[in-house]
Structure 1
Amino acid sequence: MTHLLPPNLLKLFAPRPPLPFVRSVGKDPDKVRSKKVSGVAALLAEIREANERGIVEADDRDREEGEEKFTYAEEIKRGIYREQRQKRKKEEFQKAKETYKPADDPEATGDPYKTLFISRLSKNATEDDLRKEFGTYGRIERIRLVRNKRGVSRGYAFIVYDREKDMKGILIPCHAPTWKLNSVPTAAYKEADGISILGKRILVDVERGRTVRGWKPRRLGGGLGASCTRRRAEPLWTSYRRWRRRRIPR
């Protein structure tokens, strides 16, 4: 039916010119060829030349011509590297343990008995956040938020109060109808433990580095570790009653 169309419409149905021939630039996936693997004899001359130039390691240059190079197996190499790493870690640990002297720290200023230690802080917490939370217990003399060399918080801080009773606690008398005198403790050390700062619960403690003889932090083998976060064992009578309720139906 297209031959009955007028010439102006026949141009719309005219075929396109054929595609130009282009030489193939890759391998034919339908044509399987065997892989030719050559030997290493052709590379020996280049290796000797590189050895003469000093590109190869110094210990290779000390070997005589024709002498084979001694190498370890991969498993033995990993074992040697593991032993060297453990030895290096022990030396660093012993050196850090011997050089740990918190009393000589230039940043540790202020009375240690007025200093409150705060751990498990959020990385985004600042001195203003700590002053806002702990300023209610008493006047603060200094706040030190420990940071690394890049200025990122390490998650713990020290707060020095003007008075020791603001940190450790005092007894404020208050009158009640049933008692003539009550004592209500109010202190940062007693009340601030477990509060949330920027969505993360913190831990507080007194400074023990300069007040307790022979005390070491957890990274040096001291401290309580994770014992304070473990679930406490319930009394024997409580567990027995729970067992009886499961065993005896009602």
Structure 2
Amino acid sequence: MTQFLPPNLLALFAPRDPIPFLPPIEKHANHRKLPYTGVAQFLGEFEDASETPAPVRIETREERKERKRREKQEQANYKLEQDLALWNPKKNPKATSNPYNTMFVARL
């Protein structure tokens, strides 16, 4: 399709000059990679697997969330039980003697 374009537009699709070759840069002596060596000489430094203590289990985010929810629910239930035990409708000074004399106003 580009073969039918005028020469001024064909010049836009012409390939660029190739990238000139440059020899690789020599790395600094401190950055040269060392040959691989074994680790057998360090095996004595590791601790014995039988002496290793068991890992400490840490609760996950979901477990912590569930535990806090459960504690909150238990605390609310305890508070409700305490309030029910202390509640005496006969000793309420703000209560009216006849509940039918109470007016309730809603949706102001």
Q: Relative to total residues, which structure has the larger helix share, 1 or 2?
A: 2
Q: Relative to total residues, which structure has the larger strand share, 1 or 2?
A: 1
| Bigger Rg, which one | 2
TM, length-normalised to structure 2: 0.39
Q: Which structure exhibits the higher relative contact order, with contacts defined as CA atoms closer than 8 Å and separated by 6 or more residues?
A: 1
TM, length-normalised to structure 1: 0.19
